Structure 1
């Protein structure tokens, strides 16, 4: 039984522990979004869970309740949002076909998540990741896995108000390192940092 509404245990602490200047002259921003609720769901890529998720591998979609569902791998989805949004999305998995093996795991405390937003976001990411960030390869809604500053990450393009924006997930233990590497990559574009 999936119970996303139960307490999450200890209070969340950001993996980003250093403080940073809060202003710059560009429109590029880097924000620590690690406190967002994150769940990992794994099941058959063509079973009832996959149908309920409604999100194909390499793409993303919003649930009616507002959670963001990322098709991170075949048969694997990352669900991100507020505690209530994610709880509603995960609760929908109860009662599916008992023949299918499905797991749902609260990832909130184990994964760091950062958001890079701005017109120069793709150029910044090109400095630390060998992916083609052009619209033809990574349009809004695209989900992929790649090495970012030599760290294994899941990434999703998730534009905000027609402004290019990316979510970057990594293991919590690499959070501070990756945050610092992203700041370094964004400095030439006048990055504004929002940590913790």
Structure 2
């Protein structure tokens, strides 16, 4: 197989394509402080388990919060995305191994759980910059101030009329939000955010990953 042949594409249009880890990514590098990137190539594993049981302890985080860790596949971000629901994000190409690792870990709890790989069925955007909260306020009524939604907070709400998991995951002290939606809504949400952030200089940039 040629290493220039993409195996998968994210839902957001790519201006400058490059192939990495089997995905067609955007190689653009924004020069401004406020950026939006398509992070859909990240592995996305969805977990359902009892709300407050042994599985919660095994995953290391409760509702509305996030935690970094290593579940056997390298650095991952575990998100308490809903009552009895978790979203686990990992590096591109690790979804199968990540799912197997989570299943093995949760099997030891004795609880009934489901673990699904949603990588290709969901979109994931990252909005980063000092004024990112202002852009989100243009498409949502939630208070994204540091006091209400600090770094490490997670919630499910509506952005531009699209049900979205919003995960605050700051980068080097700069506010940053991961936005997890159905794949079919990815381009629409990206366009809505770019429109809301036009006055603030929001630019599309290339894939950034979890690191």
> In angstroms, what is the RMSD of aligned CA positions?
2.3
Q: Is structure 2 residue 79 aligned with structure 1 residue 94?
A: no
| Cα distance in 2, alignment partners of residues 182 and 195 from structure 1 | 16
1:101-156 Cα shifts (integer Å, max 9, x gaps): 10000010111000000001000100001100111110000000010011010010
Match of 1:118 in 2: 129
2:38 maps to 1:16: no
- Residue 77 of structure 1: aligned partner: 86
The within-5 A match list for 1:1-150 is: 11-17=7-13, 19=15, 26-64=32-70, 65-82=74-91, 83-84=93-94, 87-88=97-98, 91-94=101-104, 96-97=107-108, 99-150=110-161
Give, in whole Å, the separation in 1 of the partners of 2:172 and 2:100: 27
TM-score, normalised to structure 1, is 0.86
Could you tell me which residue of structure 1 aligns to residue 22 of structure 2?
none
Is the 1:23–1:192 contact (alpha carbons within 8 Å) kept by the matching residues of 2? no
Stretch deviating more after TM superposition (43-52 or 163-172): 43-52
**Gaps (5+ residues) in structure 2?**
1-5, 17-27
1:112-191 equivalence runs, <5 A = 112-191=123-202
- Does structure 1 conserve the Cα–Cα contact (< 8 Å) formed by 2:169 and 2:177? yes
Structure 2 CA distance for partners of 1:92 and 1:116, relative to 1, 3 Å = same
Question: CA–CA distance in 2 between the matches of 1:178 and 1:128?
Answer: 10
- Residue 109 of structure 1 aligns to a residue in which SS? helix
Contact 1:25 1:190 (8 Å CA) reproduced: no
Identify the structure with the greater strand proportion. 2
User: How many angstroms does 1:34 deviate by?
Assistant: 0.7
How many pairs were matched up?
A: 186
Runs (4 or more) in structure 1 with deviation over 2 Å come to 17-20, 22-26, 83-90, 95-99
Structure having greater relative contact order (Cα 8 Å, sep ≥ 6): 1
- Cα–Cα, structure 1 residues 98 and 157, in superposed 2: closer, same or farther, change >3 Å? closer
Gaps of 5+ in 1: 1-9
TM-score of the superposed pair, with normalisation by structure 2 = 0.80
